[in-house]
Amino acid sequence: MATEPLDLNVDFFTGQPYPLWARARAECPVVEMDGSAMGNDRPMLAVTKWADVEAVLRDGETFSSSINAEHIGVFMGDLMLAMDGKEHRSYRALVSHAFRPSQLQQWDDRLVKPTIDDLLERIRPLGRADLVASVTSQYPVQVICAIVGVPLEDSAQFAQWAVEINTGPLDPEKGMAASQAMRDYLAPIVEARRAEPTGDLISDMVHAEVDGEKLTDEKIYGFLRLLLPAGAETTFRALGNALTALLTVPGLHDRVVADRSLLPALIEETLRWETSITQVSRIAVRDTEINGCPVAAGTALSVLVASANHDEERYPNSGEFDLDRPMQNAMTFGTGQHQCLGMHLARMEMRTGLDAILDALPGLHLDPDLPAPVIAGLAFRGPDAINVRFDAS
């Protein structure tokens, strides 16, 4: 039933929602929630079980993504995350060209590996560091800036705008200012690539055509505003979650150091165990039902991909990090027509990043004199700090 008085809201930044989601899965898998913590003031239901999450995300005709235009779209502009049906398909065809597999391999060699190596070079001699401040918070944003074609020296500014756009529903004034600032900054670069393509992603976007149509300026800026938060914030937190597992799950670090072929399993289990984005949004466009629960047209849905990843029916002992768990794709990147466009890039960045960290920082362990990392948050999850020591070199 959808009317159980189960309050799923916890503090946006420090909350621990998994126990509440477990209760919802057991007692009332489609549950009413107060959406105001997510910047939503409609009637809202949370969907918590794997099968229901999958069914909703695969039925784009009944469950529209247009609701994204109402909250995050206000700050990101004309947004593919908020498009449905044919409009979304054509747009996705245009932008996904830039993420083709041959391109990924080039990025790995040319951008990803040098970026992480450079960051690690700075901390190697120190013997101690906060891996969030000095590595993970800078690495994916530098990669995405390089992919887009933005100078490296502006990547810290981009990271700041990305956070402010992402949390725009909580602080609209800051979100709008960041959105406008990013557009003003990007406008001359877009114009320059239009006149003279340089092979970067912006060049690709301004010249790409599907059925003779090019992307409008608003759609280009909408994509770029999405790409920076989508590509930087998510991967930075996911990498922090992987490092937290590596350094806190007994025996894990030694096993992975001894056998690097375990890295893909470490990454997949991290993405299931603690994903960095816990939910995606949809709106029912007609009266329907989910798992026997009536859903009226106009109801907003918080589709809890993180809860699906802990569904005990699919993942026994789901709260435990288990490197030897049989591999099954998690719901971390969504499914259906909006499935994450950057998932191969995210996995590659995590793999290259973790491999480089293990190479560069032998003897890596948590700093015994400082607090251990804590993964926290309602919508976005990751540790604020990972204080470590290692053999200086």
- The residue among 295 and 348 lying less far from ligand HEM, judged by its C-beta, is 348
Question: Taking a C-beta distance cutoff of 8 angstroms, is the pair 207, 195 a contact?
Answer: no
Binding status of residue 364 toward ligand HEM by CB under 6 A: no
Q: Parallel, antiparallel, or unpaired for β 44-47 and 300-303?
A: parallel
Out of 23, 58, 92, 214, the only residue in the binding site for ligand HEM (CB under 6 A) is 92
Q: How far is CA 355 from CA 252, 261, 324, in A?
A: 14, 10, 19
Binding status of residue 308 toward ligand HEM by CB under 6 A: no
Question: Residue of minimal CB distance from ligand HEM?
Answer: 342
Q: Segment near ligand HEM (CB under 6 A), from 168-176, 181-189, 233-241, 368-376?
A: 233-241
SS3 for 203-241 is HHHHHCEECCEECCHHHHHHHHHHHHHHHHHHHHHHHHH
Out of 345, 348, 379, 386, the only residue in the binding site for ligand HEM (CB under 6 A) is 345
Q: Which of residues 133-162 bind ligand HEM (CB under 6 A)?
A: 144
Which H helix or E strand runs over 297?
none
Q: Segment near ligand HEM (CB under 6 A), from 214-222, 224-232, 283-291, 357-365?
A: 224-232
Residues sharing a CB contact under 8 Å with residue 83, sequence separation 6 or more, in sequence order: 65, 66, 91
- The residue among 47 and 80 lying less far from ligand HEM, judged by its C-beta, is 80
Binding status of residue 39 toward ligand HEM by CB under 6 A: no
Out of 40, 65, 137, 167, the only residue in the binding site for ligand HEM (CB under 6 A) is 65
Please count the residues of this chain forming the interface with ligand HEM, following the rule CB under 6 A: 27
Residue type, 217: D
Question: Taking a C-beta distance cutoff of 8 angstroms, is the pair 49, 311 a contact?
Answer: yes
Got the DSSP string for 95-137?
A: HHGGG-HHHHHHHIIIIIHHHHHHHHHHHGGGSEEEHIIIIIT
Binding status of residue 238 toward ligand HEM by CB under 6 A: yes
Closest CA to 379 of 136, 161, 169, 139: 169
- The residue among 101 and 250 lying less far from ligand HEM, judged by its C-beta, is 101
Distance CA 299, CA 282 (A): 9
Out of 20, 135, 346, 378, the only residue in the binding site for ligand HEM (CB under 6 A) is 346
Out of 341, 357, 361, 386, the only residue in the binding site for ligand HEM (CB under 6 A) is 341
Taking the complex as a whole, the smallest distance from the CB of residue 10 to ligand HEM amounts, in Å, to 19
Distance CA 185, CA 174 (A): 16
Out of 136, 137, 299, 332, the only residue in the binding site for ligand HEM (CB under 6 A) is 332
Footprint on this chain of ligand HEM (rule: CB under 6 A): 57, 65, 80-81, 92, 144, 226-227, 230-231, 234-235, 238, 275-277, 280, 305, 332-334, 338, 340-342, 345-346
